[in-house]
Amino acid sequence: MAATTETRSSQDIIITSLEKNVWDEMRTYLVNTLDRLELGQLNEPTFFLLHQLVVNMVNVLHYHVFKQIVQTDFGLNDSNNETDLNVLFNSELADHGDKNIAKFCELNEQYIALTFYDAGDTIVLITAPKFCQEAVRLSHKMIQTLGYELQILEPARPEKFYTARLVKHQAHRHPAVQPGLITQQNERSSLEQIFSQLTYGIVCFTGIGGIQAVSPSILALLGLEVNKAAYELFARSISIHFYNDVIWGMALEPPNGKFENYRVRVKTNKYTEESTLFNVSGFRDGSAFIHTLWQKISLDGGNTSRLSEGDLLNEAKVHNITRNYVPQLVEKKAREVVRLGGNLLKNEECYIAVLFCDIVGFTRYVEQNENEESIIHILNSVLRRISLSVKKHGGFIDKFMGDCIMVLFRNPLDAVIAALEMQKHSHDINLLRERAELGKLQLRIGIHWGKVVIGNVGTPERLDWTTIGDVVNTASRIEKNCQPNGVLISGKMREAIEFTEEMRFKCGDTFYINAQGKKDKLAVCYAYSSD
C-alpha cells in the first residue's frame, strides 16, 4: 500500500529510551484518538498493546545499537558468542541504565516514532528501523483480538526505516455476548479442563497429618517417581508451618471447616536451596479427613523465593497496614508496571515540579509546648490538610521528613495551585488556634521545575524509588529562602506556567537569591492567590 501525504495536524512522540517518561503523553494522545473514532471502550487494552509494542521495539533497537558499538569499539564480529554479548548488554543496563545507548541512538537517528492524528481513521502511525519489524509481529495476536489491522506502508523515509499504521479492521465486529447460567454438565466439563490444563493436584490428609492419598501430578511437578517412598518424602518435605496452621489448626475448628489460599513451600532435595511453592485450599469432612487442592505458583523468571508461606488473608492484612508507609507514587507505578506485564520499577527521566513545604520554627515550638498539647496530633493535623491539597491537585507525596514534606507534580500549574491552597488551609488552622490561645504554625513553600531522574536508590534489602537531581536540591533551597505564609517559585517554574490560560493566581516581581551550592544567583518570585 502506498503511503499517503498527511495534511492534518499531528502529534509526534520520538522514543529512544524507556527511562524517559513517554507513557503519560502517549496515553493522552491515544485516548483522544480512540474517543474520536468511537472506540473509547478499547482505551486500556490498546494502551497495553502500544506499551508492549514500544517496549519490544526499544529493546530490539538498544540491543542492535549496542551490538554495533561493541563491534566497532572492541572488534567483535558476528561469529563471537551471542551469550557473551548478552552478558555485556545486561551489564551495561545494570550499571548505567539505557542512558548511553539512548544517546548513541539520538546522535545516529535511530529511534521509534509514534504519530497521532486529529482526523482520519489511523489510530497511530509507527515508524521504526527495519530491524525492529520482527518485534512488532510479536503483538500480531493482540492486534487481531482487538479488531485492528497493521498496514505496512511503502517507505517515504530512508530505506533503513519502515512505517506501519494501526487502523480498525473494517470487517471485524466483536460478537454480542449474551450472559447466562452454565449448566451442571458444562460446569463439570469445564472443571475437568481447568484441572488438567492448570496442573491442579489433590492431597488427602488424615486428622493427625498423615497422607492418605496424593495426585501423581504433584509428584511429577516435584520430579518424584510414583511410589511409596515418594509419598513419604513428599510428606516429610512439607513445611511444618502448614501442619501447624492447617492440619492441626483445623482440629480446633468446628466440623466441615475450610481454608483458602494458603502458600506452602515443599523442598525435596536437602542438598540444594531449590523449593516449590504451592497455593493450597481445602476443607475438613465429617470424618476428620482433610481434602486439599494444590496448584504450583509460577512467576516470571521462576523466582518464588521472595514469597513467604502462610495465609494470604494475613498477607493482605499486613499489606493494608504497610501500604500507608509506601510513597504514593511507588504504589501507583508498581500497579501500572504489573498491569503492563512488568515486574520491577525502572529508572525514569522526566520533567517534574518538586515542592517542599516546611512548618516554620516547629522544632522550637516543640521545645516550648511539648507539655501543653500533643505534638504528633498537631503535626498530623497540619500534614493532613496539606495531603488533601496534594491529592486533590494530582500530586504525589514523595516523603515526610519530620515537619517537612516533599511532593511531586507532573503539571507545574497544579503544584502552584495546591501550594496556595495549602497556605489557605494554614490560615484557617491558625484562626482556630488563635481562638484557643495557641501559637501560630506558619508554612513556608518552595517549588522548582525541571528534569529529574526517579529511580531506585539503596540496596536490595532496603530500596527507595525516589526523585534525585539538582531540581530537588534547588527546590529545598528555595523553600528555605521563602517567607512564612509564602509560596516562592523559581524562574523556571514561572516560565513553565506564565502562558497558561487557566492560571488563577498572580506572580510577583522577580528577584534573586543566593542558594547554597549554586555559583549563580537564582531567579525567584512569589505566587499569590488572585483574591
Q: Is the dihedral of CA 195, 201, 204, 209 positive or negative?
A: negative
Under a CB-based contact definition with an 8 Å cutoff, are residues 275 and 234 in contact?
Answer: no
Q: In whole angstroms, how large is the CA radius of gyration of the chain?
A: 30
Phi, psi (deg, nearest 5) at residue 156: -100, -5
378: left (phi over 0), alpha (psi -120 to 50) or beta: alpha
pLDDT of residue 24: 86
pLDDT of residue 7: 45
pLDDT per position in the chain (531 positions), as tens?
A: 333 434 456 789 999 998 888 888 899 999 999 999 889 889 999 999 999 999 999 999 999 989 888 877 666 665 556 777 888 888 888 777 888 898 899 888 899 999 999 888 899 999 999 888 888 888 888 898 888 988 888 665 557 888 889 998 765 555 555 677 888 888 888 888 888 788 789 999 988 888 888 998 888 888 888 888 888 888 888 888 888 888 887 776 666 788 888 988 888 877 777 788 899 999 988 888 899 999 988 765 555 666 777 776 666 666 666 667 677 777 777 777 777 767 777 788 889 999 999 988 787 777 776 665 567 777 888 888 898 999 999 999 988 888 899 999 999 999 999 999 999 988 888 888 788 777 788 899 999 999 988 887 877 777 777 888 899 999 999 999 999 999 999 999 999 888 776 677 888 899 999 887 777 889 999 999 876
Phi, psi (deg, nearest 5) at residue 122: -80, 130
The number of helix segments (H) and strand segments (E) in the chain equals 18, 20
User: For the chain, first and last CA: distance in Å?
Assistant: 59
* HSE-CB of 236 using CA atoms within 13 angstroms: 9
Under a CB-based contact definition with an 8 Å cutoff, are residues 85 and 74 in contact?
Answer: no
Phi, psi (deg, nearest 5) at residue 149: -140, 135
- Per the listing, cell 540444594 goes with 272
Please report, for the chain, the start and end positions of each structural domain, with discontinuous segments joined by +: 10-168, 184-318, 328-529
Pick the CATH number of 184-318 from 1.20.1090.10, 3.40.50.300, 3.40.220.10, 3.30.450.20: 3.30.450.20
CATH dotted code for 328-529: 3.30.70.1230
Under a CB-based contact definition with an 8 Å cutoff, are residues 151 and 1 in contact?
Answer: yes
User: How is residue 408 written as a grid cell?
Assistant: 511531586
pLDDT of residue 81: 67
CA angle (47, 49, 50) in 5-degree steps: 65
pLDDT of residue 406: 93
Give the amino acid at 178.
Answer: Q
What is the SS3 assignment for 360?
coil
Under a CB-based contact definition with an 8 Å cutoff, are residues 163 and 3 in contact?
Answer: yes
* HSE-CB of 69 using CA atoms within 13 angstroms: 18
What is the SS3 assignment for 253?
coil
Phi, psi (deg, nearest 5) at residue 215: -70, 140
Under a CB-based contact definition with an 8 Å cutoff, are residues 526 and 508 in contact?
Answer: yes
What is the SS3 assignment for 78?
coil
517: left (phi over 0), alpha (psi -120 to 50) or beta: left
* Helical axes 82-96 vs 99-107, angle rounded to 10°: 100
> Is the entire prediction scored with pTM above 0.85?
no
Q: Which residue from 355, 348, 317 is spatially nearest to 334, judged by alpha carbons?
A: 348
Count Cβ atoms below 10 Å from residue 210 Cβ, excluding itself. Answer: 11
CA distance 518 to 489: 16
The distance of Cα 427 from the centroid of its chain, to the nearest Å, equals: 36
Q: Kindly give the residue spans of alpha helices, DSSP state H, lying in 309-411.
A: 312-322, 328-339, 362-369, 375-392
pLDDT of residue 2: 36
What is the SS3 assignment for 218?
helix
Instruction: Find all residues with CB under 8 Å of 117, minimum gap 6, and list them.
Output: 6, 8, 9, 10, 33, 125
- The burial class, CB within 10 Å (0-12 / 13-18 / 19+), for 531 is exposed
Q: Kindly give the residue spans of alpha helices, DSSP state H, lying in 37-115.
A: 43-74, 82-96, 99-107
